[in-house]
Structure 1
Amino acid sequence: MSYAGSENLSRSTIFKVLMYFITCVAIIFILFINQVVVSSETFYHQQLKRDLVNEANLFTMMVSKGNSPALYRTIAERKKNNTTFSYVIRSAKHAVDDIGLYPTASFIFGPSKTTQLSQVVALPLGMELVIKINPQFMQAYRQTVIPMLLSGIAVPVILMLAGASLFAIVILKKLARVNHGMNRVILGEKGVKLPVSENDDEFDVLAIHLNFLIEQVEKKETSLKALSVGMAHDLRTPIARMKLRLERLLTQQTAPHTQELEACHDDLEVLLGMFNGMLEIANLNSGKQHIDKEWVDLSQVCRDVVEFLSPISDEKYQQLTFREDEQYRLQGEPSLLFRAVYNLVENAIKYTPEHGVINVVVDHFGIVVTDNGMGVSDEDKERIREPMFRADRSRTHQGFGLGLSLVEAVVIRHNGELVFSDNNPGLRSRLYLPLASEGDSNSGE
């Protein structure tokens, strides 16, 4: 499971919450920066206005002294050296309502406002001096300040986004370890332990609790299996004795209870078969049952099964066929393989209606058994191999749910795999078995 993928990151609740938080912080930060810009330009505007008034007072004082040559020299020098203000000498008779437009800040991403800011000084001979703020000076100020403020917004937001992504990835990585371990438990792996670091954080506490839970579940499962196997082992002997006693009674004159005794005998035989099946599955899964492997032709095994079960399928007017797509030989136990295929085909016959079709195929990968019966739901596909589980909730068919469990136990002992899928309609049962070369390496088992 990937924890750093864009899909998992976008689905992460932690990442979404961090994005909402960063968005709110960014909006508040932008509003704050905007207020700083407006306040700073307002303050600078007031400072310029004071400087403008002082500049006008200077020239007014020089006019009052009557030193016209010095006045005009000062104006010329100011025009040449002072970039803050502009100086215009004009005739008072042709004066118009001229205004000085000074740009002031509004919202930093919006258009700027302008405000009137100029001073007029009366000069001798009917002339006047107009002093205004130089607009290029203010534009240079804004072009210098605003990029700095924008970078002051962008850099923190980018850093917060990177930090949030890194934080979310670290959290998802820790959760991925937990989910990976739990997936292994769900798939039936034993002895799974979630990693616990030395940080002793909340994820380590969660891993410790889950490890304890997994350990307790495995202990309960082991105890339950041991109890079931023990009961089957202990009950098998008295049931066998009861069966023998009934058989002796049935050889004698038991009328008028012969029918009841025969029914009891049949029921005990069914129970004895169930207990024997449970013990055999347990022994196969635990490795206690020794397997003498030899070369087995799967096609011959399937032919024998089809020939053996053909009378049963004929009673339901079913079409039971065998096909060999490729010859397949492996090292195995013939009788166990026969019983595994037998159980699969018998199960297909049982759950396929009259006039149905059951196909048994041997190919390069092993054996396939298909039918066009009622099929199995996706929910039950993984459970039908469990002991005592039956997909037929109505219990209209006889059985104890041990057939497919035995099939899986046999396949696993032969290093294979049992897989169920839809046949549309019906069920497709696939026995993946090892190739001959793989079987050779295990022939001494």
Structure 2
Amino acid sequence: MFFDNRELLSRSSTFKLLLYFLACIGVIYTVFVHQVYLSSDAFHRKQLDRELSQETEVFAALATQGKIDATRTLIAEKQSISSPFTYHIQPVSTQMASLSYPAALTGNQPYFELSELKSGSSLLLDDHTVLRIEINQDLLQQYRDDLAPMMISGVALPVIVMIAGAVWFAVNIIQKLQRVNFAMNRVLCGEKSVKLAVSRNDDEFDLLSIHLNFMIEQIEKKESSLKALTVGIAHDLRTPMSRMKLRIESLLDDANNPQIKEELEACHDDLELLLGMFNGMLEIANLNSGKQLVSKQPVDLAAVAQDAVDFLRPLAEEKLQQLTIRQDTPYQLDGEPNLLFRATINLIENAIKYTPEKGIITVVIDPFGVVVIDNGEGISDLDKSRVCEPMYRGDKSRTQAGYGLGLSLVDAVMKRHGGEVIFRDNTPGLRARLYFS
């Protein structure tokens, strides 16, 4: 699960925010643990200093009573056990004598001086020897060595747990958002009846899913109503326009006035254009909705493309264009020959329309279907995703004849045959492919 979401995790603002928060907590916690370490070490050192003072007082009492032999015996006993101190009996140096004694010593009076040094104490035993008691540095260092791993683990383990928790939390959030994004992508791709799962947790993601489900349902209802309205209008208008066309044709037969006849011919052409548009809209709607039955049979795609090229060759010759066909490999499929012919002819006609005079148009049959290659104007990246929409015109100026249904019909035919229309740049020109999966 984690490795599948690494890229999403690295892009997640939630995960980054958690990491920033954990970094601040980690710095504060590290400073706190470091202070605990220093305080613990200082407390341990104070304890040793207190014990050192008590230890020195014991030996000072023995030295005061003049029990030098008992002092040496006690030192031997303490050296034989694990003591936090080290004991050294050294001769009295001149400097020590000047620091610890008056100018003259008399009789059997046992004078001693306790000299507190940085890491121990010095105790005068007699006129010639001094006892130095020091804190065992190895033991002190061992305590620090034992304390340091505990402090490090005290920092590392919580940080690891917090990072793991942040990863789990971020991945959990990302997975829920991914389910929402995946469902919305399905909606954008045209899939119907998409529903987001709603759990029993009744949390904010469930509320989001409920709202999105309601929105998708309303969009589908509006889309269905709009399509039904469009098809209904096209169907209802087609009948009276067909009647008008017949009446105009009858008037043309009886018209003797050239001016009236010219006007009637213009009306006839406009009605012919409108009828063609409405018929095209109805056919595309029926293909997309599945109302138009498609009787499939074995089809040689090369033969269909050849018929389309032969049909459109005179149109290309009018523009002095070179229209050729090439078959790289045979391609057989189960399809409706008439629909495939119309899809191919629309694609080639579109290439002829937008290729300048003396241009080159090549139709190729390869292992993936049919591709029409031209060196014309091409299609912008923005228009590539929309040229198959009904009534959409890549030619914003509307200088080219047509009403934006040719490629929509091609797209509808390809969907009914389990394929798709793919547009790629030819630099210059366009490569329009009928891809059969």
Partner of 2:212: 210
Are the counterparts in 1 of residues 5 and 171 from structure 2 also a CA contact under 8 Å? no
- Retained in 1: the 8 A contact 2:328–2:366? yes
2:19 matches 1:19:
yes
The amino acid that maps onto 1:268 is L
Q: Which amino acid aligns with 1:151?
A: S
User: What SS class does the counterpart of residue 93 from structure 2 fall into?
Assistant: helix
Tell whether 2:415 aligns with 1:427. no
C-alpha contact 1:360 1:367 (8 A) present in aligned 2: yes
Q: For residue 256 of structure 1, report the CA deviation from its aligned partner.
A: 3.0
Partner of 1:230: 232
- Asked if structure 2 preserves the Cα contact closer than 8 Å seen for 1:370 and 1:426, the reply is yes
1:93 offset after TM fit, Å?
2.6
The correspondence of residues 186-335 of structure 1 with structure 2, limited to 5 A, is 186-251=188-253, 252-335=255-338
* Deviation of 1:82 (Å): 5.0
Distance 1:246 1:254 in 2: 14
Deviations 1:316-369 (A, max 9, x none): 111111112223333333222221111111000011111111111223332211
Q: In 2, distance between residues paired with 1:269 and 1:302?
A: 28
**Alpha-carbon distance in 1 for matches of 2:78, 2:123:** 15
Aligned mate of 1:399, from 397, 402, 421: 402
CA RMSD of aligned residues (A): 2.0
Counterpart position of 1:38: 38
2:140 aligns with one of 131, 138, 153: 138
Q: In 2, are the aligned partners of 1:411 and 1:418 still within 8 Å (CA)?
A: yes
CA, structure 1 residues 319+96, in 2 after alignment: closer, same or farther (shift >3 Å)? farther
- Counterpart in the other structure of 2:49: 49
Q: Which 10-residue stretch deviates more, 144-153 or 257-266?
A: 257-266
- Residue type at the aligned position of 1:158: I
Question: Please, what TM-score do these two structures have when normalized by structure 1?
Answer: 0.89
**CA–CA separation in structure 2 for the residues paired with 1:190 and 1:362:** 33
Number of the residue aligned with 2:83:
83
Change (3 A) 1:359 1:335: same
In structure 2, what is the equivalent of residue 102 of structure 1? Answer: none
Partner of 1:336: 339
Q: How far does residue 160 in structure 1 lie from its aligned partner after superposition?
A: 0.9
The alpha carbon displacement at 1:165 in A equals: 0.9
Which is worse superposed, 287-296 or 217-226? 287-296
The alignment partner of 1:417 has SS state of strand
Structure 1 pair 82/273, CA: closer, same or farther in 2 (3 Å)?
closer
Distance (Å, rounded) in 2 between the aligned partners of 1:295 and 1:70: 119
How far did residue 158 of structure 1 move? 0.9
Q: Is the 8 A contact 2:420 2:436 kept in 1?
A: yes
Are the structure 2 counterparts of residues 352 and 59 from structure 1 closer, same or farther at C-alpha, using a change threshold of 3 Å?
same
Q: How far, CA to CA, are the matches of 2:384 and 2:342 in structure 1?
A: 21
Runs in 1 of length 4+ with deviation above 6 angstroms? none
Task: Indicate yes or no: 2:164 matched with 1:162.
Answer: yes
> Does residue 1:413 correspond to 2:416, yes or no?
yes
TM-score, normalised relative to structure 2:
0.90
**Aligned: 1:348 with 2:351:** yes
- What is the percentage of aligned positions where both structures have the same residue? 56
263-272 vs 302-311, which moves further: 302-311
Deviations 1:255-285 (A, max 9, x none): 4332222211111110111011111111222
User: Post-superposition shift, 1:400?
Assistant: 0.9
Contact 1:365-1:432 at 8 Å conserved across structures: yes
**Aligned-pair CA distance for 1:29:** 1.0
Aligned residues: 417
Per the alignment, residue 112 of structure 2 pairs with: none
Structure 1 equivalent of residue 185 of structure 2: 183
Separation in 2 of the partners of 1:397 and 1:420? 20
SS of corresponding position for 1:256: helix
> Which sits farther off after the overlay, 420-429 or 177-186?
420-429
- Distance in 2 (CA, whole Å) between partners of 1:355 and 1:2 is 58
